[in-house]
Amino acid sequence: MSRKPITEDMRLQDEWYKRAKDMKPEDFLDFANELSKRYEHDYGTVCHAMAAIGLAAMYAFNKTDGARGGITGFQAGCVMWEVIRHMNYENNKCGLRLLDMDDLLYPQYEYKFHSIGSNTWKAVQKEAKNRISENKDAHEKYLKEVEQYRQDLDKFKEDVKEFESEHPEYPKYEDDPKFYEHLGGGTSEEWDKEHKKEESGFMFAPREPYDSAAHPNVVAHWESIVNGKVPFGLRIQD
C-alpha cells in the first residue's frame, strides 16, 4: 500500500490527539499501524505521530486492569516527568523544572522566576565541577583524535587512487571530496544512497573528529558557579 504524503499544514494531527485521548486497549495497535504505515510523514508530522501514539498507549493502558482503575492526577504528573526525563534528559544531574508562563499573571508565583532551592544549588555546583573535569578530558581526547585523523586522511588519499581506477563511475576524491564523506544527515532518498554505497563496499574517507569540549565562556561560567556565584541573578530560597 502506497503511503499518503502529508504535511503539518494539513492539521491531521489535531484529530490524532483527539483519538488518542479516547483510545481503548483493543484499538491501540490499529491506531499505531495507521499512523506509521498509512502516511509519508514530513519533519513535523512524524513528531506528532510519535507523540499521539505515545499518548494513545498511555490512555489505553489507563483503561486496563493493570492500571488499577485508572491513575490519579498526581500519578499522571509522575508519568509526564518520567517521559520527559527518559526521552530527553537522561543525563540530567541537577533536577528539572517546568514553568507555566501563565503564572506570570499571578503575583504569588514570583518566587518561581527568581529563585532556586539550596539543594538544587548544591547539585548545580557539583555538576559544574564535574563538567570542568570532563571538559578537560574531552579536549585532550579530541587533540589525540585530530592527530590520528590527519594520519588516516593522508593514508586514505593514497589508497583511494586505486579505488578510483577500479570505479571510474565515481568522481575523483580531489574533484569532489564531499562525495567520499559519510552522510551526517539527510533525506530518506539520501540515506538510501548512503546505504547502497556502504553495501557496495564503497571507500569512505575517515570521519573528521568533533571537539565536544565546551566554549571557553561556558567553562568560565562553570568556574564562577563552583566559586559560589549564583547565575542569572537568582537567589537561593527554600
Q: pLDDT tens for residues 135-154? A: 999 989 999 999 999 999 99
The whole-angstrom separation of Cα 224 and Cα 31 is 51
Segment 98-144, tens digit of pLDDT:
988 788 677 788 888 888 889 989 998 998 999 899 999 998 999 99
SS3 17: helix
Residue 116 has a CB neighbour count (10 Å cut-off) of 21
Cα gap 44→218, rounded to integer Å: 31
Q: What is the pLDDT of residues 177-215, one digit of tens each?
A: 999 999 988 888 888 899 999 999 999 999 999 888 888
Residues 228 and 147 in one domain: yes
Domain assignment of residue 216, given as a range: 116-238
What grid cell was written down for 72? Answer: 490519579
Read off the DSSP letter of residue 94.
S
78 and 182 both lie in a single domain: no
Task: Answer whether residue 106 is part of any domain.
Answer: no
Q: Which of 211, 100, 84, 234 is nearest to 146 (CA)?
A: 211
Would you state the pLDDT for residue 37? 94
Q: Considering Cα of 148, then 151, then 157, then 159, what sign does the dihedral take?
A: negative
Contact criterion met (CB below 8 Å) for 41 and 49: yes
* Total domain count, the chain: 2
Q: Is the residue at 237 inside a domain?
A: yes
Residue found by looking up cell 514553568 in the block: 99
Angle between helices 118-166 and 216-226 (to 10 degrees): 160
Instruction: State whether 132 and 189 are in the same domain.
Output: yes
Tens of pLDDT, residue by residue over 3-25, are 999 999 999 999 999 999 999 99
Other C-beta atoms within 10 Å of 41: how many?
19
